[in-house]
Amino acid sequence: MFTTNHFIWLGAIALLIALALIVLKKLKISDRAVGKAVMITLIILKIFHMSLSMKESEFGGYILNQTQLSFHLCSIMIYTVIFTNMINNKKVVDTLKSFMVPCLFIGAAMALLIPTEGADPTVPRVWQYMLIHGVLVFYGIYLAAVERVDLSFRAYFNNLKLLLGVTLIAFLMNSVLEQYETNFLFLRVPPMDNLPLLNLDNGWYVYFLTLAAIACVLVLLVQLPFMALNARRKKRELSQ
């Protein structure tokens, strides 16, 4: 964590995100086209990830490693991106896009800051890990700053309800797959040892409540600037 290679990865990803946002602004590409491009990129990277996560089955053939099943927050977001690009129900799409913003800002950004796959550029899995989370961070920024999805106070509570649903699914999958030591959403144990606050020093229940409280605060912090902008915009419209 925070090695020279790690800083190089973070700098390169930040530069690519900035360049992509500048190019998209100049070319004036539609939100739908950007969503489709992100979806296709994520599908390619996900297939690459799955190809690196296969293992031989005791019954013959190959299967996906159970610890790599798509119940981590960022994996769920990949399927959410695909889903929102495949349906035409505007209300559902808008709700899910609003939910994606804090999840992508927090989940994907934290994955880049705490690279569980390491940062060695000679390892193919590291490339997949960094690129897929970089694309997710980019899309979160795009949805919030360019497409301007709903990030109101009401959306905040809707997002917490959706996050609770995702948490319950991840908790159930951790229980079902206990023998494989899965740790979806880091609900079983912290992502790394010796983290401040997020540790098991005071038992699992304190850890879980701390994790839940941090999640609620982080989602609020992500949405607060946009809540303020929306309030200012509405005030300006009323004054005209």
Tens digit of each residue's pLDDT (9 = 90 or more) over 44-58: 998 888 888 888 888
Q: What is the pLDDT of residues 10-44, one digit of tens each?
A: 999 999 999 999 998 888 888 899 999 999 999 99
pLDDT at 183: 86
Percentage of residues in the chain having pLDDT higher than 90:
43
- Return the higher-pLDDT residue of 122 and 1: 122
pLDDT bucket at 61, cuts 50 / 70 / 90: confident
The SS3 of residue 63 is: strand
What letter represents residue 230's amino acid? N
Question: What pLDDT score does 66 carry?
Answer: 75
Read off the pLDDT of each residue in 115-122 and give the average, rounded to a whole number: 84
Query: Are the C-beta atoms of 207 and 198 separated by less than 8 Å?
Result: yes
As a whole number, the mean pLDDT across the chain is 87
At residue 213 the predicted structure's pLDDT band, cuts being 50, 70 and 90, is: very high
For residue 134, pLDDT over 90 is answered with yes
Taking the CB of residue 188, how many other CB atoms lie within 10 A of it?
18
Q: What is the pTM of this model?
A: 0.85
Based on the structure, what is the number of domains in the chain? 1
pLDDT at 240 over 70: no
* Residue type (1 letter), 171: F
Mean pLDDT value across residues 154-161? 92
Alpha helices in the chain (DSSP H): 4-27, 31-52, 73-86, 90-103, 109-113, 124-141, 153-176, 204-239
Q: Over the stretch 169-208, which tens digit does the pLDDT of each residue have? A: 999 988 988 888 888 888 899 877 778 888 888 999 999 9
Buried b (16+ CB within 10 A) or exposed e, 81-119: bbebbeeeeeeebebbbbbbbbbbbbbbbebbeebeeeb
> What pLDDT score does 1 carry?
61
Task: Check residues 3 and 221 and name the one with the higher pLDDT.
Answer: 221
The pLDDT, as a whole number, for residue 83 is 93
Which residues form the domain of 147?
4-239
Q: Which pLDDT belongs to residue 42?
A: 93
pLDDT (0 to 100) of residue 28 = 84
Please tell me which residue, 1 or 191, carries the higher pLDDT value: 191
* Strand pairing class (54-56; 62-64): antiparallel
Dig out the tokens for 22 from the structure: 């500048």
The SS3 assignment for 66 reads helix
Q: What is the pLDDT of residues 67-106, one digit of tens each?
A: 777 778 888 899 999 999 999 898 999 999 999 999 988 8
